[in-house]
Amino acid sequence: MNRTNHPLTRILLILLASVALLGAPVVSSADDHMPWGSAEKMDRQYEPRKVVYDVYTSNARELEMVLDRVSMLNNVYDADPFESHIVMVLHGAEVPLFTREKFEEHEELMRRARSLTQAGNIEFRMCEASARLRGIELADIHGFVNVVPMADAEIIELQHEGYLLMQ
C-alpha cells in the first residue's frame, strides 16, 4: 500500500484541509459585501480640549461641513466653556462669506456661525492679510469675528499655547 492511500494519511490530509478551510473567510450569498462582518463601536469618553481649526475652504458648502464638525466636537465636549475652547482661523475662500456684501446670499450660514459663538467657547478669527488681498475692510466683517494679522502666525501661536491643530 502506498503512503497516499494509507488510511491515516487520508485522515491527516482531510484534517489539514479542514483546518485550512477554517482560516478562510466564509462568504455566503447574503454576506457577499460584508465578508468580515460589521464594525463594532468603541465606547470612548473624550476630555474637553483647546482646539484650533485651520479653515481654508473653497465654498460655502465646505464651510458648512467645518461648522458641522466643530458643532459635533463641541457637543462631545458638552459645550464646556471652562474646559474647552475651539478657535476657527479663517483664511480661504470662506473669508468673503463673513462680510456685509455676502450677508443676504449666506444669511442662514452666518446666523449659524454666530450662534456657535454664543456660549463663549467657540470663536472665529479671520486673517487680516487674507481679507485685504480680497479687498475686504475691517468695517465690512461681521462683529462676531475677531481679526488677527496673519492666519499662519495665529495658528502657530495657538499651538504654542497648547491648542491642538485640526485641519
Domain boundaries, the chain: 58-166
pLDDT digits (tens, 9 = 90+) for 123-143: 999 999 999 999 999 999 999
Residue where the block lists cell 462582518: 37
Q: Locate all alpha helices (DSSP H) within the chain, ordered by sequence.
A: 7-23, 60-76, 107-117, 128-133, 151-160
Distance between CA atoms of residues 113 and 64, nearest Å: 9
Report residue 144's pLDDT band, with 50, 70 and 90 as the boundaries: very high
Is CATH 3.30.499.10 the classification given to domain 58-166?
Answer: no
pLDDT of 125 reads 98
For 16-47, letters b (16+ CB in 10 Å) and e give eeeeeeeeeeeeeeeeeeeeeeeeeeeeeeee
- DSSP code of residue 53: E
pLDDT of 37 reads 93
Q: Is the pLDDT of residue 92 over 60?
A: yes
Share the mean pLDDT of the chain.
Answer: 89
User: Model's pTM, two decimal places?
Assistant: 0.78
Q: Is the pLDDT of residue 53 over 90?
A: yes
- Cα dist from 41 to 35, 37, 38, 44, whole Å: 18, 13, 10, 9
| pLDDT > 70: percent of the chain | 81
